[in-house]
Amino acid sequence: MDKKTNLTAQNRLIIFGLILSTILIMAIAVFSVLNIQKRLNEGYQNFGQVISKTLAIESNELTKNIPDEEIYNTLKSHTDSILKSHNDIVFIEFTDNNGKIIYSGKNESHRSTKRPNITVSSPLTDVINNSPIGSVTVGLSGNIISQISSTTRASLLFVFAVAWIVFAFVILVNTYLITRELRILHDGVQKISSGNFGYKIEGENVSNEVQELFNSFNDMSTRLHLYEEQNIEQLTLERNKLEAVLMSIANGVVVCDNNDTVVLVNNHAQTLLEVSESQMLNTSIQNYIDTEGNFCFKEKIEEFKSGDNKFVTFNITVDKRIIKSVISPMYTRSGEYVGYIIVLIDVTKETEMDIMRAQFISNVSHELRTPVTVLRSYIDTLYHLGNEFDYETQKEFIGTINNEIIRLNNMVNDILDFSRLDSDIELEKTLTNIPMLVETCVNQIKILAADKNLTIEVSKGSDIPEILCHYDSIERALRNLLSNAIKYSPQGKKIKVKINKDIENNQVILTVEDEGCGIAPEYQKKIFDRFFRVENDTHTIKGTGLGLHLVKTTIEKHHNGRVFVDSTVGKGSVFGFTLPINTTITGTKV
């Protein structure tokens, strides 16, 4: 608006200058023409006066000594010769003192002229007596003066017209030059305002003042360009730092603007959401669809926006993974809301752990309730009716009570071992003869195998060295594997225990092989997880779900070994672990 107003005022000023100069030039031209015309008329009047006086003098001289009857012819002859020699004279007339015309001659070229423009009279004087004897009148057509006036006017008008044109041209050219310089400066300012810092004005053939202005502009543009480079470099560095931090965060991060458009997504978020960066950037996060075909973010984002941008926490499911999502607002330092951040946390294991923990508590409660109920029932029966039973019956009751106490003790030990081995303590290790440890465990557990008519076969490789290990925890781990093999083996089957030395990897391998129901492949990866149990038609034996996890913790965490399983459904399973030879691990006695 200001620009348009200034331009209009400039145009008005130029037009006003042209009009004023035109009026001034026209006034000068009219004044000059009128003045010249007046001078010409005065000169022409004097010219006519001179002619009439000259005729009067000449006529006196011609008629001075001649008779009266010849005066007419003399004047006529002289007048006709003058009329022929002067085209601008219309007539010459001689009169006496009484006004009587002596002779009147008219120029043939002016027969059509009714009346001359200028009439001049001069007296005829008697030379001797010096007294007037008449007058001579000369009529002038004014053609010469008209031609001179027309030529003069035309010349003056031409001169003033040329002067006006030159003046107007100079004004327009000057205006154009000034406007061009302003336009060049205006274009430069537009370049700067559009962010083209460093743009320079090339000023040629401009005034010194404008050149100084251009130089100042170029200097300002250069400084802005340097500042922009420094600022962009700093901003780029800060952005790169921010992106590096976000990209390296272990949790998934999705940054969205206030239009729900994704502007940044780190690598872990791409993995969790199973999308690539190109699929997410510049798209609406509300359009993301999970594996079940639902717009899993849309409803929660709308809830987040309708709740005064408060934190919103919810879970989504992507490819059987449970992802905890937290939407939090994003503000500038000035407090302006610019979007929100979605933090994605894979809580699949935690959720599974919660489920397994709940199952564990349920299983432990059930497992504890069963022996406690049996113990209470048998003890109560013996207490009140013991005298009525014979020795064999009492022995059977006491044997059942003993088995339940052993079962209860094992469960309590599992829970205590889980708490102890899952901590960061280090176990004291001593050199142990592994084959002897295996024989001891097998002898201890043969009683359980005998109940199911199972045979335990032990095979040992040659040259098995002593291993630096914690005897009790390794014995408990092996006993756990043997107990599981007995539990899941059908009546009359065989259990094989093997000890071998792996020279290539400098380790001892111990395996327990059964001929039980086997484990499906999808469960084999989770079989060593805490609280995990395979519950189906085949596996119906109750337990805490801690035994194999304790084996894994003992071997891998405290002995730098490795546990493994190889199982085929319907054919049996092979559980085992490895122990490194010549290990130097020492620890605190527990």
> Which of 321, 346, 371 represents a domain boundary (last residue)?
346
Higher per-residue confidence, 397 vs 457:
457
What global pTM score does this model have? 0.40
Question: What is residue 510's predicted lDDT score, i.e. its pLDDT?
Answer: 94
- Same domain, residue pair 442 and 535: yes
- Same domain, residue pair 566 and 428: yes
Half-sphere exposure of 462 toward its Cβ, with a 13 Å CA cutoff? Answer: 0
Residue 289 lies in a domain: yes
- Same domain, residue pair 65 and 96: yes
Confidence of residue 476 (pLDDT cuts 50, 70, 90): confident
Q: Give the mean pLDDT of the chain.
A: 78
> How much of the chain exceeds pLDDT 90, in percent?
8
- Same domain, residue pair 41 and 132: yes
Confidence of residue 386 (pLDDT cuts 50, 70, 90): confident
Confidence of residue 578 (pLDDT cuts 50, 70, 90): very high
Residue 211 lies in a domain: yes
Confidence of residue 500 (pLDDT cuts 50, 70, 90): very high
Euclidean distance between CA atoms 519 and 567, whole angstroms: 6
How do residues 445-468 score in pLDDT, each as one tens digit? 887 788 889 999 999 988 889 999
Question: What is residue 360's predicted lDDT score, i.e. its pLDDT?
Answer: 62
Question: What is residue 419's predicted lDDT score, i.e. its pLDDT?
Answer: 56
Task: Give mean pLDDT, residues 63-81.
Answer: 74
Residue 355 lies in a domain: no
Residue 164 lies in a domain: no
Query: What domain count does the chain have?
Result: 5
Question: What is residue 532's predicted lDDT score, i.e. its pLDDT?
Answer: 64
Q: Pairing relation of β-strands 89-96 and 321-331?
A: unpaired
- Same domain, residue pair 436 and 555: yes
Residue 392, phi then psi, degrees to nearest 5:
-65, -40
Which neighbouring-strand residues pair with 341?
255, 328
Task: Give mean pLDDT, residues 183-189.
Answer: 76
Residue 65 lies in a domain: yes
Question: What is residue 537's predicted lDDT score, i.e. its pLDDT?
Answer: 44
Question: What is residue 585's predicted lDDT score, i.e. its pLDDT?
Answer: 43
CA distance to 79, 181, 430, 472, 556, per residue, from 500 (Å): 169, 96, 20, 21, 19
Lowest-confidence range among 50-64, 85-99, 165-179, 231-245?
A: 231-245
- Same domain, residue pair 569 and 426: yes
How do residues 10-41 score in pLDDT, each as one tens digit? 667 777 777 887 788 778 878 877 887 788 77
SS (H, E, C) 437-463: HHHHHHHHHHHHHHHCCCEEEEEECCC
Q: Pairing relation of β-strands 101-106 and 321-331?
A: unpaired
Q: Given a cut of 90, is residue 125 above it in pLDDT?
A: no
Q: Given a cut of 70, is residue 392 above it in pLDDT?
A: yes
Question: What is residue 587's predicted lDDT score, i.e. its pLDDT?
Answer: 40
Euclidean distance between CA atoms 158 and 170, whole angstroms: 18
Task: Give mean pLDDT, residues 100-112.
Answer: 72
Residue 550 lies in a domain: yes
Place of tokens 């430069």: 188
Which neighbouring-strand residues pair with 343?
253, 326
The CATH number of the domain holding residue 379 is 1.10.287.130
Question: What is residue 223's predicted lDDT score, i.e. its pLDDT?
Answer: 78
- Same domain, residue pair 334 and 389: no
How do residues 519-534 score in pLDDT, each as one tens digit? 888 888 888 776 666 6
The two three-digit tokens of residue 165, written as one number: 């044109």
Question: What is residue 105's predicted lDDT score, i.e. its pLDDT?
Answer: 76
Question: What is residue 565's predicted lDDT score, i.e. its pLDDT?
Answer: 92
Confidence of residue 405 (pLDDT cuts 50, 70, 90): confident
Question: What is residue 539's predicted lDDT score, i.e. its pLDDT?
Answer: 45
- Same domain, residue pair 413 and 491: no
Task: Give mean pLDDT, residues 507-516.
Answer: 93
Which neighbouring-strand residues pair with 321?
318
Task: Give mean pLDDT, residues 577-590.
Answer: 62
Range of the domain at 77: 2-148
Sequence-distant (≥ 6) Cβ neighbours of residue 70 within 8 angstroms:
none
Task: Give mean pLDDT, residues 147-156.
Answer: 76
- Same domain, residue pair 311 and 404: no
Question: What is residue 511's predicted lDDT score, i.e. its pLDDT?
Answer: 95
Lowest-confidence range among 20-34, 284-298, 468-482?
A: 20-34
Residue 57 lies in a domain: yes
- Same domain, residue pair 424 and 568: yes
Q: Calculate the CA 71 to chain-centre distance.
A: 119
Lowest-confidence range among 362-376, 462-476, 485-499?
A: 362-376
> Which of 316, 346, 376 represents a domain boundary (last residue)?
346
- Same domain, residue pair 367 and 464: no
- In terms of average pLDDT, the best of 176-180, 444-448, 508-512, 541-545 is 508-512
Question: What is residue 530's predicted lDDT score, i.e. its pLDDT?
Answer: 64
Question: What is residue 589's predicted lDDT score, i.e. its pLDDT?
Answer: 40
Give every strand in the sheet of 89-96, ordered side by side. Answer: 101-106, 89-96, 132-140, 118-125
Residue 352 lies in a domain: no
Confidence of residue 337 (pLDDT cuts 50, 70, 90): confident
How do residues 406-423 score in pLDDT, each as one tens digit? 767 766 776 666 555 555
Task: Give mean pLDDT, residues 318-346.
Answer: 86
Q: Given a cut of 60, is residue 569 above it in pLDDT?
A: yes
